[in-house]
Amino acid sequence: MSVNVLQTVAFVLVGAVGTAVVLARDVRRQVLVNGVYGLTLVLLFVIRQAPDVALSVLVVGTVAYPLVLLVAITVIRKEDDR
């Protein structure tokens, strides 16, 4: 498969998942889809030969950011239930 085809597929995938993040109504679902969006960005950056950026996005955008958001949402909802 040609690199140009891979890049095109990766760009379309990033656009589609980015749209899914925006269209997600539930906050928890949006956070999880945002994690998938981070994975698609990692794929795009690896294809574009930027492994250092891909590693940063992998750690921050796919793991740390969604985890912090999910914990914060859970804590806030528990406080609201009291």
pLDDT in tens, 16-58: 999 999 999 998 899 889 989 999 999 999 999 999 999 999 9
Answer whether residue 82 shows pLDDT above 80: no
- The C-alpha atoms of residue 21 and residue 43 are separated, in whole angstroms, by 17
Residue indicated by tokens 């095109």? 8
Residue 52 has a pLDDT of 94
Q: Which of the four pLDDT bands, split at 50, 70 and 90, describes residue 9?
A: very high
Q: What are phi and psi of 25, to 5 degrees?
A: -90, -40
pTM over 0.75: yes
Answer whether residue 66 shows pLDDT above 90: no
